[in-house]
């Protein structure tokens, strides 16, 4: 664990009676995990009977060996994934003060009928809100919306923000084959910009993963590829140009596009078909985005900080899965104090609109 301003959440004097979080005596920014998941069984019961009809890339492009490891993993983490009770214990051990919980990506099902999608989204969002209400000093929530029905998606987004108090919306890398940049989805993105709500982009395997079945490649390689394609469309189709106030945080360090924009910039300068909807180089628009720091390598972390700035980066763990960062606070120990202040809590608090002083009131 890193020393200095970020104290481990389980350190003496950091918690009051009953687990309520007190304001840290040195005024330190609290550690916020922007990338962690909760499955809502009530929504699962509604969605899963319809899921087999769709194209779940993580299951479609998977080997028997990967399937066996996944079954073992889900058996081990089932309680953590399906209820909130063990989260606080693990948060304290990892030095996490606040989790921004989002739905398990498998609950982002956009192939189901519209009425099923709406019911599943409402049950998921109600379940996330209920978990936050149980531990309001330790949790905040992000919901999901039925993007296959854009008008209903806008209505559910407004309910998430205005009625449930959720702080973000988890979105996929595509909607049943439609790019996020498609004209049909523009009203949803405009509504997100107007509401000022964070969109947390989380992929679920590569949609064309025929060559990625072995070695869990459809997650290891497929997730970054999916994010790269989704972001490239948001850039080149002009979404980030027309909606400069849109707040998007991308999981897994932004995929490959956050590290490899030079070829896109060159194409923008060399080819008219790469300048149809944007007036500036693609790298300009990438710097409007936010990324979590779930990259597992110090050199990659340093690169993200140098290129995008600590104020565009957030700590993310991918709890409770095996692809999570085992020492999230310690992973950032090599950074400067100012950089850690932003990445471990400051950026996420700003993006999520958290009133940390209010969350820290004893007895809440």
- For residue range 27-37, what is the model confidence (pLDDT) as tens digits? 457 999 999 99
Residue with token string 């995008």: 308
Contact 294, 325 (CB under 8 A): yes
What pLDDT is stored for residue 56 in this prediction?
58
Q: Identify the weakest region by mean pLDDT among 111-120, 203-212, 234-243.
A: 203-212
What pLDDT is stored for residue 20 in this prediction?
31
Contact 344, 6 (CB under 8 A): yes
End-to-end Cα separation, the chain, in angstroms? 28
What does the pLDDT look like over 320-363, one tens digit per residue? 988 889 999 999 999 999 999 999 999 999 999 998 877 765 44
- Identify the helix (H) or strand (E) that includes residue 98: strand 98-103
CA distance 324 to 99: 14
18 or 287, greater pLDDT? 287
Mean pLDDT for all residues in the chain: 86
Dihedral angle sign, alpha carbons of residues 325, 305, 347, 255: negative
State percent of the chain over pLDDT 70. Answer: 88
Residue 19 has pLDDT above 70, yes or no: no
Q: Structure tokens of 266?
A: 């060159």
CATH number for the 17-359 domain, one of 3.20.20.140, 3.50.50.60, 2.40.10.120, 3.10.129.10? 3.20.20.140
What does the pLDDT look like over 258-273, one tens digit per residue? 999 999 999 999 999 9
Per the confidence metrics, is the pTM higher than 0.85?
A: yes
Dihedral angle sign, alpha carbons of residues 162, 164, 166, 170: negative
Report the alpha-carbon angle 199-105-132, nearest 5: 70
């Amino acid at each position: 664990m890193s020393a200095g301003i970020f104290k481990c959440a389980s350190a003496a004097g950091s918690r009051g009676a009953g687990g309520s979080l007190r304001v840290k005596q040195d005024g330190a920014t609290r550690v916020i995990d922007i990338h962690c998941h909760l499955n809502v069984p009530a929504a699962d019961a509604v969605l899963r009977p319809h899921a087999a009809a769709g194209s779940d890339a993580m299951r479609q492009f998977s080997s028997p060996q990967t399937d066996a490891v996944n079954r073992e993993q889900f058996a081990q983490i089932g309680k953590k994934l399906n209820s909130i009770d063990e989260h606080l214990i693990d948060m304290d051990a990892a030095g996490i003060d606040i989790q921004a919980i989002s739905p398990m990506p498998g609950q982002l099902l956009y192939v189901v009928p519209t009425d099923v999608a709406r019911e599943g989204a409402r049950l998921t969002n109600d379940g996330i809100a209920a978990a936050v209400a149980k531990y309001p000093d330790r949790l905040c929530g992000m919901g999901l919306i039925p993007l296959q029905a854009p008008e209903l998606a806008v209505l559910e987004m407004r309910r998430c923000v205005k009625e449930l108090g959720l702080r973000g919306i988890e979105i996929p890398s595509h909607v049943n084959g439609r790019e996020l940049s498609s004209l049909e989805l523009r009203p949803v993105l405009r509504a997100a910009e107007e509401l000022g709500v964070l969109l947390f982009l989380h992929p679920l395997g590569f949609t064309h993963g025929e060559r990625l079945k072995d070695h869990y490649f459809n997650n290891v390689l497929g997730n970054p590829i999916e994010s790269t394609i989704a972001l490239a469309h948001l850039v080149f189709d002009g979404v980030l140009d027309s909606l400069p106030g849109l707040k998007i945080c991308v999981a897994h360090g932004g995929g490959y596009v956050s590290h490899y924009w030079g070829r896109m910039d060159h194409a923008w300068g060399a080819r008219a078909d790469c300048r149809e909807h944007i007036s500036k180089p693609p790298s300009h628009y990438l710097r409007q985005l936010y990324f979590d720091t779930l990259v597992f390598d110090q050199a990659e972390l340093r690169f993200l900080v140098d290129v995008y700035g600590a104020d565009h980066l957030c700590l993310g763990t991918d709890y409770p899965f095996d692809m999570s960062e085992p020492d999230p606070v310690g992973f950032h120990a090599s950074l400067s104090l100012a950089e850690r202040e932003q990445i471990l809590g400051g950026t996420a608090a700003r993006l999520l609109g958290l009133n940390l002083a209010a969350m820290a009131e004893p007895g809440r």
